[in-house]
Amino acid sequence: MDIRMTGIQPNHKNSSMSADSDSLKQSVVEKFGTPCTVVDLDIVENNIANAQQRCNDAGIANRPHIKTHKSPFFANQQLQAGAVGITCQKLGEAEVMFNAGITDIVIATNLIGAARSGKLAALQQQVALKVCADNQVTLTEYAKAACQAERTIDVLIECDTGQKRAGVETPGQARELAEIIDSNPWLDFAGLLFYPLLDTWPQTQAFFDEVSAGLSKLGMSAGIVSTGGTPNFVNLGNLQGATEHRAGTCIFNDRMMMAAGVATLDDCALQVFTTVVSRAGAERGILDAGSKTLTSDQGGLDGFGYIVEHPDAKIIKFSEEHGFLDLSRCQPKPGIGDVVRVIPNHVCVAVNMVDNLVAVRNNEIVDVIPVAARGKLV
């Protein structure tokens, strides 16, 4: 998705240069130093409530993807707001969430390494997981893990309708995998997982209808029919037969979501507080946050983040611990020592860089929340 930055107006709550935000900056600097990744809990709770309401309005169960926050704290907030369960991308994330008491978990990927290592069997023994597959090798691994755990495992078939990532490309392949699942005593067919592009919902409907018809002939049906993605909220309810939606980014939002027109500046809950540490040239400056804080993931946008106080300052490049500012279009220009707040292009990968998030409400620090599932690669 090559989304370009649309015009975003700076005059929002987030952009206030108020005494309140100055006082918060000072508190953050004094307690933690910079760079510091800060999340506003009021905005988070509003975002959680909005996502839940949109699902409720569409009659679709909400199964948020925890890849964005990787924290049981926020997962539990989502469940309390009405989510039916959660989505994870890695087995290690599911372990963290299960250890925090969460039991309704879809893992939305082909797990092969985690199955072979015995980690899948170990967790499946403790909690009935729902896993995904788009091929027979994965199914064989799942059956072995289920046998080892002595508990059958629920499997969703991942279907591709445009992302060209994982997912079978034809309804016939989906039906074949469903038959294999059905014939294996250790596997239970749990449903279908889609991640349509914004404009491939009609194709997704056709794909789903054909799979459904095929399953019907086998006396089977999909219990779960899942769609995904924050930008896809606009399409929620457009797939007849869909039962749940998994969105991640909407809990925090980011510059990509603003550029896609699905979030405003006031919906962006996460900011990286960073200090201007050098102004060696008249038209340029350096931040103490680089790719090891905000990542090199541009998400198809120009530049590397939105600076709340200086929307016309452009982060043109990162080295590992430096952000390169082009200040040529920026008036007034930030001075050395100024702390500025950056909304990342892609919040999911920015959260993944830190062990903790500093939580604030009304510009006061109220908590430090561990990103407990960070670094769970397997």
Give the footprint of a copy of itself on this chain (CB under 8 A).
29-37, 67, 89-91, 109-114, 116-119, 134-135, 137-138, 141, 160, 164-169, 275, 277-281, 284, 286, 288-289, 291-293, 295-298, 319-322, 324, 335-337, 339, 348-349, 352-355, 375, 377-378
Q: Which is nearer to a copy of itself, 160 or 244 (CB)?
A: 160
Q: Which is nearer to a copy of itself, 190 or 371 (CB)?
A: 371
CB of 36 to a copy of itself, least distance (A): 7
CB of 218 to a copy of itself, least distance (A): 22
296 Cβ contact list (under 8 Å, min separation 6)? 304, 318
Q: Residue 202: what residue type?
A: P
d(CA 278, CA 322): 10
d(CA 292, CA 322): 9
CB of 356 to a copy of itself, least distance (A): 9
287 Cβ contact list (under 8 Å, min separation 6)? 35, 274, 275, 276, 277, 315, 322, 323, 325, 340, 342
Which of 166, 108, 89, 106 minimizes the C-alpha distance to 135?
166
CB of 103 to a copy of itself, least distance (A): 22
Q: Which is nearer to a copy of itself, 212 or 249 (CB)?
A: 249
Q: Which is nearer to a copy of itself, 167 or 305 (CB)?
A: 167
Q: Which is nearer to a copy of itself, 134 or 267 (CB)?
A: 134
CB of 339 to a copy of itself, least distance (A): 8
Dihedral (Cα; 301, 305, 310, 313), 10-degree rounding? -60
d(CA 344, CA 271): 7
Count of alpha carbons within 13 angstroms of residue 374, beta-carbon side: 15
Q: How far is CA 8 from the centre of its chain?
A: 22
Q: Which is nearer to a copy of itself, 146 or 265 (CB)?
A: 146
Per-residue burial over 221-243, b = 16 or more CB atoms within 10 Å of its CB, e = otherwise: ebebbbbbbbbbbebbeebeebb
d(CA 20, CA 362): 8
**Does residue 171 have a cis bond before it (omega within 30 degrees)?**
no
CB of 321 to a copy of itself, least distance (A): 5
Answer yes or no: are the C-beta atoms of 79 and 97 closer than 8 Å: no
Per-residue burial over 179-211, b = 16 or more CB atoms within 10 Å of its CB, e = otherwise: ebbeebebbbbbbbbbbbbeebbeebbebbeeb
CA angle 37, 326, 9 (to 5 degrees): 65
CB of 59 to a copy of itself, least distance (A): 29
Q: Which is nearer to a copy of itself, 32 or 73 (CB)?
A: 32
Count of alpha carbons within 13 angstroms of residue 171, beta-carbon side: 14
CB of 33 to a copy of itself, least distance (A): 4
Q: Which is nearer to a copy of itself, 319 or 362 (CB)?
A: 319
Q: Which is nearer to a copy of itself, 37 or 232 (CB)?
A: 37
CB of 279 to a copy of itself, least distance (A): 7
CB of 13 to a copy of itself, least distance (A): 24
Q: Is the dihedral of CA 129, 133, 135, 137 positive or negative?
A: negative
Q: Which is nearer to a copy of itself, 137 or 218 (CB)?
A: 137
